[in-house]
Amino acid sequence: MKSQDYIKDLRGKSLPQLKEELTALREEQFKLRMQQAVGQLNQSNLVRDVRKKIARVKTFVQQQAKSGKAS
């Protein structure tokens, strides 16, 4: 999924859905780190991609929390 499509998808999610997404991405990041530690990770770019997705989700969580407090 391209980053623009992923961002559009995130915009349509509610705060609990974003937190679920964040949890899933952190689990994926953990699995990738373990694969990297034992030398089984062939595509090292996946670690960076997941890290960026986590940052995007955290940004949307913060934006929704901020807008929720302002309302």
Tens of pLDDT, residue by residue over 16-38, are 999 999 999 999 999 999 999 99
CA dist 39 and 29 (Å) reads: 15
Task: Tell me if 2 is assigned to some domain.
Answer: no
The chain-wide mean pLDDT, for the chain, equals 92
Task: Tell me if 57 is assigned to some domain.
Answer: yes
Task: Tell me if 63 is assigned to some domain.
Answer: yes
CA dist 24 and 28 (Å) reads: 6
- Total domains in the chain come to 1
Closest CA to 32 of 21, 53, 46, 20: 46
Query: Domain range holding 45?
Result: 19-70
**What pLDDT was estimated at residue 62?**
95
Task: Tell me if 13 is assigned to some domain.
Answer: no
Interval 42-52 mean pLDDT: 95
pLDDT, tens digit (0-9, with 9 covering 90-100), for 56-67: 999 999 999 888
Task: Tell me if 1 is assigned to some domain.
Answer: no
Task: Tell me if 12 is assigned to some domain.
Answer: no
**Residue 60, token pair as written in the block:** 């949307």
Question: Which CATH number covers residue 31?
Answer: 1.10.287
Task: Grade residue 68 by pLDDT with cuts at 50, 70 and 90.
Answer: confident
CA dist 10 and 15 (Å) reads: 10
22 in Cβ contact with 68 (< 8 Å) = no
